[in-house]
Amino acid sequence: MSKSCTQKAMSHNNKYDFCRRAGVLLTLGVALCALAPHAVLGQSKDFPNRPVRLIVPFAPGSATDISGRFFGNQLGIVLGQPIVIENRPGADGSIGIMAAKNAPADGYTHVVAGWTNLTVNPVVMKDLPYDPIKDLKPVSGLTRSMLGLTVSGASPIKTLDDLVAAAKKSPKLLDVGTFSAGYLLAVEWFANTSGVRFNNVPYKSGATINNDLMGNQITATADAMSALGPLVKSGKLRVLAVTGEARHSDFPDIPTVKESGYPEYSIYGWSAIYTRAETPDDITNKMAEAMQKVMVSAAAQEYRKKVGSDFLTGPPSAMRKFQIDQYQNFKRVADAAGIKAE
């Protein structure tokens, strides 16, 4: 064979070898892609094999923090791994939500989300940095708690009528403290319904508000009864009315806002565990199943009685429906109170 023919043959063989190798690599790549979902499943079969982070988007001592710490502890017992609570307060819960949104979608980071950051912020805030539906998915509901419209235990204001009368008589707007948009919405809705106006004083935590309330730095506040209970029982704070459909089981002498002359007024704070939307469903389902075990435990039932809250039970799909229904309700509340997104 001539040198030219030999070179052509070698060139042909090199091309053949290259194509053959490329084909093998392509086939291997396709096989690996096909196995990828199974690899993810394989990683999640032993979930969790290390501590799980639970972000609380509000300060220690808040109703969300109290709920998150209790359920986090119980969830850790069921899962066999510690649940590490991380408080990330600020921006009406948005900072904590963003921390969960930006965390790896591996099931090791969850957030105690709720009415403020999932259904109120989308109503009252423009350019929200997260989408409550697209960026997060529910794992489990936690609690639903009525609020209390509250003054200092030493205040001369004894009833809602007294509060309304004081607001109308005062030469300046009465100061009312709130630490999230949800509580602001509750106060503004009552103000609009009763025909008065208040001056909102923003705080970073309910604990700070209560200190100023007891020190007569502000006139009133609104907070979850689960957080107010101990201070009310000690006489340091006085709840003028609760915001539930019926009276609070632990405080049967306190009237509801509805029966105090405002039949359309009823509002609850609520919380739930959410995670990044891309988290694998099998991990989410394992977390959801663990939470259902927590909900029916004796410890959880005792906690429910202690804080006077209702449990939000059911699968993640039920929590999603509840979230959407609540958003629509708060949108109606905001429209009725004349509250615009800012």
pLDDT at 132 over 80: yes
pLDDT at 323 over 90: yes
The average pLDDT across 153-159 equals 97
Beta-carbon count within 10 A of 28 CB: 10
Q: Are 190 and 257 in contact (CB under 8 A)?
A: yes
Q: How far apart are CA 294 and CA 78, in angstroms?
A: 7
Count of all residues that appear for the chain in the document: 342
Q: Which amino acid is at 95?
A: I
State both tokens at 326: 């609540």
Q: To the nearest whole percent, how much of the chain has pLDDT over 90? A: 63
Alpha helices per DSSP H over the chain:
3-45, 63-79, 94-101, 121-124, 160-169, 181-194, 206-214, 225-233, 281-295, 298-307, 316-337
| Alpha-carbon distance values, 8 to 2, 4, 57 (Å) | 10, 6, 70
Q: How far apart are CA 266 and CA 250, in angstroms?
A: 18
pLDDT at 306 over 90: no
Give the residue carrying structure tokens 């980071």. Answer: 109
What is the set of domains in the chain, with CATH numbers?
A: 52-145+268-337 (3.40.190.150), 146-260 (3.40.190.10)
When pLDDT is cut at 50, 70 and 90, the band that residue 19 belongs to is very low
Three-class SS string for 80-100?
CCCEEEEECCCHHHHHHHHHH
Stated pTM of the model:
0.75
State both tokens at 325: 């229904």
Q: How far apart are CA 274 and CA 130, in angstroms?
A: 13
When pLDDT is cut at 50, 70 and 90, the band that residue 138 belongs to is very high
DSSP state letter for 256: B
| Nearest in space to 55 (alpha carbons), one of 79, 89, 87 | 87
Q: How far apart are CA 221 and CA 280, in angstroms?
A: 41
pLDDT in tens, 270-305: 999 999 999 999 999 999 999 999 999 999 999 988
When pLDDT is cut at 50, 70 and 90, the band that residue 43 belongs to is low
Write down the mean pLDDT value for the chain. Answer: 87
| Nearest in space to 248 (alpha carbons), one of 210, 184, 301, 304 | 304
